[in-house]
Amino acid sequence: MEELLDEVIKKALDEIKRNADQSFEEAKRIVDKTYNDVLQSYSNKVRDLITKTKEEIEGERAKLDVENKRLVASEKNYWIEKVYEGVKDKIDVLLGSENYKKGLEGVLSREAKNDVIIYCNSKDVDTVSSILNKLKIKAKLKEEKMLGGVKIEFPDQGLVKDFSLDLLLSQVFEAEKPKVAKILFGEE
């Protein structure tokens, strides 16, 4: 009877051990599956966060690049304008020259006629008046703030022709800006 009892206990223990092993394997499988699911979920979240952060960084980098280019362009324009102002400041050297007076005479002889209104700067009034007398042109002379040159108004036509150094200088300087930039900054 003891043997029978030992055998029944052994079978029961074997059954319990087998059930415990199966339960352990099932629990291990559930824990592994849950662990892998959680790991996959957090890995996806981390990847998404990294991607989003990279996109934000690239966006900020692009903004900074645009801002840098704007600042560089602004600084370049500042220095180009300084050159332009320097040229305007040196224009007085031209105003006293014979070539300038010949240029004024050429414009007035070609464009001016009686009864026009001629605008010039205060420094050129005497020169322009003298040229008009020499050409025997009766025109009204008015002072206007400008670097030099003349503007001729044709009241009967409602037309003004601008031969001012302001206009000429701005047109020439605009055309020459790339060359000035190349000299100043070594680029086109």
Backbone angles phi and psi of 162, in degrees to 5 = -105, 110
pLDDT in tens for each of the 188 residues of the chain?
778 777 878 888 888 888 888 988 888 899 989 989 898 999 999 999 999 999 999 999 999 999 999 999 899 889 988 888 888 888 887 887 889 999 999 999 999 999 999 999 999 999 999 999 999 999 999 999 999 999 999 999 999 999 999 999 899 888 888 888 888 888 65
Residue where a domain stops, chosen among 71, 89, 107? 89
Domain of residue 155: give its range: 99-185
Give me the pLDDT at residue 188, please: 54
Is there a single domain that holds both residue 83 and residue 104? no
| Total domains, the chain | 2
- What whole-number distance in Å separates Cα of residue 42 and Cα of residue 54? 18
The 3-state DSSP class for residue 96 equals coil
- What whole-number distance in Å separates Cα of residue 14 and Cα of residue 65? 74
CB 112 within 8 A of CB 149: no
The answer to the question of residue 94 being in a domain is no
Is there a single domain that holds both residue 85 and residue 124? no
- What whole-number distance in Å separates Cα of residue 31 and Cα of residue 73? 62
Provide the angle, in degrees to the nearest 10, between the axes of the packed helices 165-185 and 2-89: 140
Is there a single domain that holds both residue 70 and residue 20? yes
Residue where a domain stops, chosen among 89, 117, 144? 89
For residue 165, what are its two tokens? 């150094």
For residue 73, what are its two tokens? 């362009």
Is there a single domain that holds both residue 10 and residue 45? yes
Is there a single domain that holds both residue 125 and residue 150? yes
Is there a single domain that holds both residue 5 and residue 30? yes
Indicate yes or no: pTM above 0.85: no
Is there a single domain that holds both residue 154 and residue 128? yes
Is there a single domain that holds both residue 105 and residue 141? yes
Q: Which residues contact 27 (CB under 8 A, 6 or more apart)?
A: none
Integer angstrom CA distances of residue 158 from 89, 96, 134, 152? 33, 32, 26, 11
Query: For residue 109, what is the domain's CATH number?
Result: 3.30.2320.30
Is there a single domain that holds both residue 13 and residue 34? yes
